[in-house]
A = this chain, B = another copy of it.
Amino acid sequence: METELSRALGIEHAIFGFTPFPAVAAALTRAGCLGVLGAVRYTDPDDLRRDLDRMDRHTDGRPYGLDVVMPATRAAGMTEADAEAMIPEGHRKYVRDTLARHGVPELADGEPSGWRITGWLEEVARRQLDIAFDHPLALLANALGPPPDDVVARAHDHGVRVAALAGSARHARRHAETGIDIVVAQGYEAGGHTGEIASMVLTPEVVEAVAPLPVLAAGGIGSGEQIAAALALGAQGVWLGSLWLTTTEAELHSRALTAKLLAAGSGDTVRSRALTGKPARQLRTEWTDAWDAPESPGALPMPLQGLLVAEAVSRIQRYEVVPLLGTPVGQIVGRMTSERSVRAVVDDLTRGFERAVDRINRVAGRAER
């Protein structure tokens, strides 16, 4: 499946695969897609440099991308300590009580608190960019709208295309005005941060709003039939994230989480502020239920909520407290029922796409029935 955009980027399939795992991103790129590595988990710049070096070695010179998280509204110069000081004690107590109720042990002294929220802060994202631009990136994506103007300019100086996620036509139009190159239309059904407009409605709205900029459809896509649907809606490609979480190359922090994903149906996700402070679709768990309960103090705004729950999330993962164990994932989780290699999944997508094209041609009377 080839579009103007996929040809311009030199990829075989107009499939953009977002993943926090370098092995998955590299496998996606080798399979003819564009693997996009999520940078939010890299709090140590050296770790990011190491993994991008690894991407370079394992992608056979084919293009790949990086996804950073720079909030559109920025508290310039705010440090993690500044943010920590803004968290009310009542919220800290609610986290402690919820963990205690589920018997979640403390981390041992010196045990790293795993995933931290620091990647949300602009200073961290900027350090990541210094490293990223030393590598042959094809795409820089920002999960929270367009990056700052100087970052867009710097990307363009390096020949890197810039993509920004949008959950509404209004946001997409605003993004387009900043000089970015690609808009990712993120539908309600997507994993992670989403708005309320479903892909079926959002994709064509965004396509129309930002034309002639190319649009990638995100949300609800996990089969070749769904790719065909997204392209029929005017997208120049698709942006898939959830689907790779259960590939054999993915290394989730817990096998119990992989099992939960494989067992979950499309109705087992929830759009919740519990993880970051903004509505993000994720597995519904007793943790998200606790934040939706009547006694919940309510989630704090980004980035405070992420800082508030970072240690708790580490403990839940470290001790595999199954009822609380979750991850951002879209409604497409219902289709993720077996562990397969990235290559096998991509083959399945391209075959399903061809089947859907056959089908649509039959309906249109353009082929033998």
Seen from chain A, the residues whose Cβ lies within 8 Å of a Cβ on chain B are 1-3, 14, 168-169, 187-189, 195-202, 204-205, 219-221, 223, 225-226, 228-234, 265-267, 330-332, 334-335, 353-354, 356-357, 359-361, 363-366
Please report the C-alpha to C-alpha distance between residue A195 and residue B201 in the assembled complex, in whole angstroms: 16
Please report the C-alpha to C-alpha distance between residue A206 and residue B90 in the assembled complex, in whole angstroms: 44
Please report the C-alpha to C-alpha distance between residue A334 and residue B198 in the assembled complex, in whole angstroms: 12
Given known contacts A229-B230, A233-B225, A365-B2, is B201 in contact with A334 (CB within 8 Å)?
yes
Q: Which residue of B lies closest to A226 (CB)?
A: B200
Chain B residues positioned under 8 Å from A364 (CB to CB): 1, 353-354, 357
Report whether A225 and B234 are in contact in the complex, using a CB–CB cutoff of 8 Å.
yes
Report whether B220 and A198 are in contact in the complex, using a CB–CB cutoff of 8 Å.
yes
Contact sample, A vs B, 25 pairs, CB 8 Å cutoff: A1-B364, A3-B363, A187-B198, A188-B198, A189-B197, A189-B198, A189-B201, A197-B267, A198-B198, A198-B200, A198-B219, A198-B331, A200-B230, A201-B330, A201-B332, A204-B225, A205-B266, A228-B229, A231-B359, A231-B360, A232-B357, A233-B356, A234-B359, A353-B364, A357-B366
A45 CB, nearest partner CB in chain B, Å:
38
Among B1, B196, B200, B228, contact of A221 (Cβ-Cβ < 8 Å): B200
